[in-house]
Amino acid sequence: MDKHDGSKHDDNQHGLGTRAIHAGFMRDEYGSVMPAIYQTSTFAFDSTAQGAARFAGTEPGYIYTRLGNPTIEMLQRNVAALEGGASALACSSGMAASNTLFFALLSAGDHVVTSDALYGPTRGVLEQHWSRFGVEGSFVNTADLNTVRAAMKPNTKLLFIESPANPTLKISDIAGCARLAHEHGALLVADNTFMSPILQRPIEHGADIVVHSITKFLNGHSDVVGGIIIFRDAALAARVRPVWYNLGGTMDPHQAWLVLRGLKTLKMRVLTAQANAQQLAAMLAAHPAVAEVYYPAHASAEQRAIHEKQADGPGSLISFELRGGMDAGSKLMESLSLMTLAVSLGGVETLIEHPASMTHRGMAPEQRLAAGITDGLVRLSVGCEDIEDLLADMQQGLAQL
């Protein structure tokens, strides 16, 4: 293979752990085991004819890093292989990924249906900014297919879901949503940040596009901000690609390299954090100070059945309500010594936060309540610490209430 060949591990014959470690990598002339960082803004041409051919698209190769870069391409190939997609586009942030899609696929007069408990800034940009350009949004409980069906309109172009939703962990039926979207001539976009492709691959269930905040599980070390879009169909990717590089929200090579490093441990991290979360969720559910636990393994039988049909595990995000409401939640979060009070999720460290005042503060109070985001809701992103230490920290924190 020369340095521009795809990895022999890109195909689906290999397991997800193997793909995370090997897929998409290109061999360079030195035989480096690790992918190289092509930290360059521009690429030299052998001749003016070659430069002209690359700009015309008649010869493959690199021109300028905003348009494409080998390190970024390795990341795109790797995540596409994990999600079972045809191709992917890496972005400078998760919000850059969402806005790239909106810019490429929506026009004035179009309509979007999304989860009511959608990530706060994604909902905010639709309500406050895309609405200024004539794009209409309906924010509904996508866990109820009848509600989704009622929200669809002749001008609906996108159905955008999170499953599990952030932060309520409601489960949407990906296959059911895909059928409804396609019946109305719309595309299904699934945000798979909470599960990662280790636990869930929405394209296998009919999604047209998958998005991730790379910041979270894919990178896994809380030191990179990034996003990625994965496409079922190469033609759809080709439609979005010019918007991706012309809007300028593309990824940096060093960001991409750090994520490639993080991906090598993706399966181990996800499964370790999930095992920890299962024990913490059980402990929280049995504690007298806890009023409610929201976690796929503890969901209603109907919600559990949907999740188990489309996912390979409950994941490592837990939301819960304390009997003392917001005051009790604040006291708990400030009493923990090992778990860190911070937003974000998916890192090796356990993070805890208060959605109503932090990640979803931009929503109006009545919108938050309608979406199930109460003032007393606490979101816990369980990490990879020793479970005995996590249990002890949570128990001593709850004892302060």
3-state SS, residue 30: coil
pLDDT band at 371 (very low <50, low <70, confident <90, very high): low
Residue 54 bears catalytic tag:
no
Which residue in the list 19, 66, 77, 241 is annotated as catalytic? 66
Query: Where do runs of H (alpha helix) occur along 57-158?
Result: 70-83, 94-105, 120-128, 145-151
Which residue in the list 38, 62, 119, 294 is annotated as catalytic? 119
Residue 393 bears catalytic tag:
no
In the prediction, which pLDDT does 243 show?
98
Mean of all residue pLDDT scores within the chain: 93
Contact 216, 193 (CB under 8 A): yes
Q: Where do we find the tokens 């109503």?
A: 356
What tens digit of pLDDT does each residue of 180-204 get?
Answer: 999 999 999 999 999 999 999 999 9
Asked if omega into 70 is within 30° of 0 (cis), the reply is no
pLDDT band at 3 (very low <50, low <70, confident <90, very high): very low
The token pair that represents 180 in the structure block:
């409804």
Q: Is residue 9 scored above 60 in pLDDT? A: no
Q: Is residue 13 scored above 90 in pLDDT? A: no
Contact 73, 88 (CB under 8 A): no
Which residue in the list 201, 216, 368, 379 is annotated as catalytic? 216
Residue 327 bears catalytic tag:
no
Which residue in the list 110, 116, 191, 393 is annotated as catalytic? 191
Percent of the chain exceeding pLDDT 70 equals: 96
In the prediction, which pLDDT does 359 show?
67
pLDDT band at 8 (very low <50, low <70, confident <90, very high): low
pLDDT band at 2 (very low <50, low <70, confident <90, very high): very low
Fold of 16-263: Aspartate Aminotransferase; domain 2 (3.40.640)
CA distance 261 to 282: 33
The fourth-level CATH superfamily of domain 266-399 is Aspartate Aminotransferase, domain 1 (3.90.1150.10)
Mean pLDDT computed over 106-126: 92
Contact 298, 278 (CB under 8 A): no
In the prediction, which pLDDT does 185 show?
98
> Which residues are CB-contacts of 279 (< 8 A; sequence separation ≥ 6)?
387, 391
Domain boundaries, the chain: 16-263, 266-399
Residue 153 bears catalytic tag:
no
The token pair that represents 132 in the structure block:
């200024």
What tens digit of pLDDT does each residue of 336-366 get?
Answer: 999 999 999 999 999 999 887 776 667 777 7
What tens digit of pLDDT does each residue of 268-308 get?
Answer: 999 999 999 999 999 999 999 999 999 999 999 999 999 99
What tens digit of pLDDT does each residue of 55-64 get?
Answer: 999 999 999 9
In the prediction, which pLDDT does 355 show?
81
